[in-house]
Amino acid sequence: MAGDAAAKTNPVKMMTLHTVAVDLGAAIGPLLSFIIIDLNGISAVFYLSSMVMLFVGGAWGVFHFFGKKKDNYLA
């Protein structure tokens, strides 16, 4: 997906932004998880992760469904 987006814009800028976002997520994610485990226990991490995944999935569904033309819902 990042490669497709990079083909439409400046590829160096797009891939740099993608790499920085992935690296920040890989660095900050475990840190936040350990902080949440210390404060609330390990079950809080699972509940928070499920809420984030439901939100992201719902947002993707809304943008995917309403961003399509009326004659192309299944594509």
Whether residue 19 is found in the same domain as residue 48: no
pLDDT digit of tens for each residue in the chain (75 aa)?
666 666 777 888 888 888 999 999 999 999 999 999 999 999 999 999 999 999 999 998 888 888 765 555 555
Q: Which residue segment(s) compose the domain that 28 sits in?
A: 1-40
Q: Report the distance separating Cα 32 and Cα 23, nearest Å.
A: 14
Contact of 33 with 45, CB cutoff 8 Å: yes
Whether residue 36 is found in the same domain as residue 5: yes
Global pTM reads 0.60
Q: Count structural domains, the chain.
A: 2
